[in-house]
Amino acid sequence: MNLKKQFMEGLLTQNPVLVQVLGMCSTMAITTSFFNGLGMGVAVLVILTLSNVIISLIRKIVPDKIRIAMFIVVIAGFVTMVDLFLQAFVPALAESLGVFIPLIVVNCIILGRAESFSYKNGVAASFFDGIFQGIGYTLVLLVMCIIREFLGAGTFGGGLLGVDGKGIQILPSQFPAGMLTLPVGGFLVLGCLIAAMQWALSKSKK
Amino acid sequence: MTDYKNLKLIATSNPHIRSSETTRSIMLDVIIAMLPALVWAIIWFGVKALTLTAVSVIGCMFWEWLYRKLMKKPQSVGDLSAVVTGMLLAFVCPVTTPYWMIIIGGFFSIIVVKQLFGGIGKNFVNPALAGRAFLLGSYAGVMTTWIDATQNKAPLMGSTTDIVTAATPLAYMKTGNMAGLTETYSVMDMFLGKTGGSLGEISAAMLILGGLYLIWRKVINWQTPVAYIATVAVLSFLFPKAGSSMEWMLYSVFGGGLMLGAFFMATDYATSPVTKKGQLIFGIGCGLFTVLIRYFGSYNEGVCYSIMVMNLCVALIDKYTKPTRFGVVKSDKKEAAAK
Amino acid sequence: MSNEVQTKEKVNLDPKYIIKLTVTLFLTCVVVAGLLGLVNKVTEPNITAANKAKTEAAMQQVVADPEGSSFSDALEITADMNAAAASAGAKVTEAYEVQAGGAPAGYALKIVSSGSQGNIEMMVGVDAEGVVTGVSIVKNSETAGIGSKVMANEPTAAGVGVLSQFVGKSAADGTLAVGTNVDAISGATVSSKGVTTGVNAALAVAAVMG
């Protein structure tokens, strides 16, 4: 087990969003305010870690033929639990993330890590893989949220800070380009981030 | 002794046809062709039309220069394509657009749509239209405020909250309010440009003048604009929403950005098909989408989006209208297709 | 063909193996379902309470006397109510009876009508005489800067909030329509029309409910 390598992979060299290009749907759909990004990121982190641990635990007894079905059952179970807990205790977040919480079931990051990592590795390594990949995902979401929220609404910390949780207004309200908070803005920002990441990675290799 | 290495001889395969036509000379022709419409905009909307266009042009040139500088690429600001983009961008915005907004639009047009994809000739949609679409999506309120130029001219600086606004001909047509339309604007008003609308789109007469100049100078082919305008004309003649067919057709053809789009936007080299057959298909597609959006969409005007949609189809159109090479027979073609 | 099948992995048709697969999957599902049941038991009261609070907050905005009103549980949507809403061009999704001081004082209706960018979900209060007591928007996706003005109840050219202008309207005003007896926000005609359609539907539904 190589913690440092796993950490670097999760955050940079194998970043789930920017390098593996997994979980695009939620990344583009919910990154409109800081609170959304944080909530989604943490939800995925928790589900990913739990499912990684469980799948790693049962990997020896799961017959190869039905492993995907088993993964989905385990993941769907955790997602539903998180969904219910959010609805019960953080209704504001559940409301603004809406259908994207149930959709974590089909988030490729979780199934992807189950298939490519935790099904082949020990419990501890899978646990840390879940944490680091989750952090990598959350960080990208937060960066996207901050960019899109600042340029699209002129605020920072939407849903969390400021009056009525509307965020702290930095740009006067007539300037922000509202298009960035629309889905098309998600594509634009994500495209630029992926390009920047590839550029940085290719530079560091040289 | 001659220093052959530094002679800068360009070796290419034959044929060696030389043309004095350069990007710069083409762009210069396009700029000249746009001047009549600009002059009319200044007469009709006031000096703000000129200053807004100037700011837009300077903004686009600045972004182009800055990107090439920062990325250490050969400077391309001299080819005047940024000037054309800047002018077109101003032409498709309301004259009351604030200066800072058009600079942001220029940023989107030049940096995001053009330079990030590799600069001139590599952009896949028309930069000016993409800039407008971005502004419309971001500042919908400002981008759909149309000044009533018969009541007041656009203020040069400062707030535009007190201006008298008017519905554009297309807004009347969207609701099928033909009585209100004919009362406010006559067909002659539409042709000359005494209406509300974007800065450079209002005067069909001036735009046709510019378009004819471009065709005469062989900068553009007649296929795209004619196919585009004819498609809109035929469809609106066949399916009038209100009023008589003829009347509805004339208002449809002279209204909105159709002339500007057909002559100056749909003919952009990088984003339109290469072959004449392809250009016909392209023009018909643009016309079809324009009418569909005007009839069934939630926006009044469909020119901007229809051209952008067809821009995305150019690769396909080019693929299927590729002329057969000399000497290729049918069986060869089949073989090539099977590969 | 036959060659291809042989090169593929042989399908194991051993009954024991198939039973093993089925049982494993079944047991996993049972365990997960059991856990979910447990979680549901813990969270259900909170979720119900949160949903109820949300609905009540929306209803309180549309009745004449927010302090003194109480609301019944959701009423059954009858075929008549659906037909009444549909004839006005919208859908009714929830209906509640409003009680003020113990006496029935009209209805709060959740209506879904179409705006310019998608559905507009709104709560409309109608009192016992069939007069609108308030309109509030629950959910919408109207264009920021245009349709959003309607959703935020910004004043029309007449100076009254675009949603507030519906208060006091009733079936006696005839079918409400933008341009005749309803003012729209300039540039946001489609969104204004969507809300107007919703209010018409609410009046029609309330009339059916009596």
Q: DSSP code of B147?
A: B
Choice between B15 and A70, residue whose per-residue pLDDT is larger: A70
Contact B145 C143 (CB under 8 A): no
User: What's the mean per-residue pLDDT of chain B?
Assistant: 87
- Of C16, C199, C191, C40, nearest to C122 by C-alpha is C199
* A68 in Cβ contact with A119 (< 8 Å): no
State yes or no: pLDDT of A130 exceeds 60: yes
Q: Which of A184, A192, A195 lies at the smallest CB-CB distance from B137?
A: A184
- The rounded Cα A161 to chain-centroid distance in angstroms is 21
Q: Does A73 contact C43 at a Cβ distance shorter than 8 Å? A: no
Q: Among A37-41, A101-105, B79-83, where is mean pLDDT lowest?
A: A101-105
pLDDT of residue C127 exceeding 80: yes
pLDDT band at C185 (very low <50, low <70, confident <90, very high): confident
| Residue located via tokens 């040069």 | B156
Residues within 8 A of C (CB atoms), A 67-96 only = 69-70, 73-74, 76-77, 80-81, 84-85, 87-89, 91
In a domain, A74, yes or no: yes
Q: What is the mean pLDDT of chain C?
A: 82
Give the per-residue pLDDT at C5.
Answer: 44
Q: Do B141 and C145 touch (CB under 8 A)?
A: yes
Q: Which residue has the tokens 């599902």?
A: C29
Is some CB atom of chain A closer than 8 A to the CB atom of B111? no
pLDDT score of C73:
77
Share of chain A above pLDDT 70, in %: 97
Res A157: pLDDT? 80
Q: Which residue of B has its CA nearest to A153?
A: B138
- pLDDT for C141: 78
- For helices B303-320 and B276-296, angle between their N-to-C axes, nearest 10 degrees: 150
Whether residue C60 is predicted with pLDDT greater than 80 in this model: the reply is yes
A135-149, B181-195, B260-274: range with lowest mean pLDDT:
B181-195
User: Could you tell me if A188 and B112 are in contact, meaning their C-beta atoms sit under 8 angstroms apart?
Assistant: yes
| Tens of pLDDT, residues B294-335 | 988 777 888 999 999 999 999 999 988 888 777 777 666 666
Residue C120, strand partner residues: C113
> Would the CB atoms of A182 and B100 count as touching at under 8 Å?
no
Q: What is the pLDDT of residue B10?
A: 58
pTM metric for this prediction: 0.80
Write down the pLDDT at residue B333.
64
Least confident of B7-16, B40-49, B97-106: B7-16
- Contacts of B214-223 spanning 24+ positions with Cβ under 8 A: B214/B29, B214/B30, B214/B33, B214/B263, B214/B267, B217/B29, B219/B26, B219/B29, B219/B30, B219/B33, B220/B263, B220/B267, B221/B267, B221/B276, B221/B279, B223/B276, B223/B279, B223/B280, B223/B283
Q: How far is C149 from chain B (nearest CA, A)?
A: 10
State whether residue C18 is helix, strand or coil: helix
Q: Is the pLDDT of residue C91 over 70?
A: yes
Which B residues in the span 130-189 are in contact with A, Cβ-Cβ below 8 Å?
134, 137-140
Query: Cα–Cα distance between A181 and A158 in angstroms, integer?
Result: 12
For chain A, say whether B305 makes contact (Cβ under 8 Å): no
Q: A150-199: per-residue pLDDT in tens?
A: 998 888 887 777 776 677 888 887 888 888 888 888 999 999 999 999 98
The continuous run of DSSP H or E covering C88 comes out as helix C79-88
Contact B96, B154 (CB under 8 A): yes
Query: By the 8 A CB rule, do A50 and A170 touch?
Result: no
Q: Looking at residues C129-134, what average pLDDT do you find?
A: 87
So what's the pLDDT on residue A137?
Answer: 93
Q: Which two tokens stand for residue B91?
A: 């032409």
Nearest-by-Cβ selection for C187 from B141, B175, B298: B141
Examine residue A205 and state whether it is found in any structural domain, yes or no.
Answer: no
**Would you state the pLDDT for residue B16?**
62
User: Taking CB atoms and an 8 Å limit, are C187 and B144 in contact across chains?
Assistant: yes
Mean pLDDT of all residues in B288-293: 94
Given a contact as 3+ CB pairs under 8 Å, which chains touch B?
Answer: A, C
Residue C6 pLDDT level (bands cut at 50, 70, 90): very low
Pairing state of beta strands C69-71 and C132-139? unpaired
Max avg pLDDT among B185-199, B213-227, B293-307: B213-227
The pLDDT value recorded for residue B280 is 94
- pLDDT interval class at B170 (50, 70, 90): confident
Q: What is the mean pLDDT of residues B187-192?
A: 88
Pairwise CA distance, residues C190 & C142, whole Å: 10
Cα–Cα distance, B48 to B45 (Å, whole number) = 7
Lowest mean pLDDT among A132-146, B177-191, C3-17, C150-164: C3-17
- Per cent of chain C over pLDDT 90 is 8
**Tell me, what's the pLDDT at B339?**
56
B213: left (phi over 0), alpha (psi -120 to 50) or beta: alpha
Q: Where are the beta strands (DSSP E) in chain A?
A: 155-156, 168-169
Q: How confident is the model at residue B19 (pLDDT cuts 50, 70, 90)?
A: low
Q: What is the pLDDT of residue C2?
A: 44
At residue A52, does pLDDT exceed 90? yes
Distance from CA of C22 to the nearest CA of A (A): 9
- Chain A residues with beta carbon closer than 8 angstroms to that of B140: 178
User: Please, which residues 167-196 of chain A have a Cβ atom closer than 8 Å to chain C?
Assistant: 178, 181
Calculate how close chain B gets to A178, using CA atoms only, in Å.
4
Give the DSSP per-residue string, B279-306.
HHHHHHHHHHHHHHHHHHSSSS--HHHH
Q: Give the pLDDT confidence score for residue B281 in this predicted structure.
A: 94
- Taken as a whole, chain C contains a residue count of 210
- Comparing CB atoms, the residue among C143, C186, C189 nearest residue B140 is C143
Domains of chain B (ranges plus CATH)?
Answer: 23-170+177-320 (1.10.3430)
Domain tally for chain A? 1
Q: Over pLDDT 70: what percentage of chain C?
A: 93
**Is the residue at A154 inside a domain?**
yes
User: So what's the pLDDT on residue C4?
Assistant: 45
Round to whole Å and give the CA distance between C93 and B165: 39
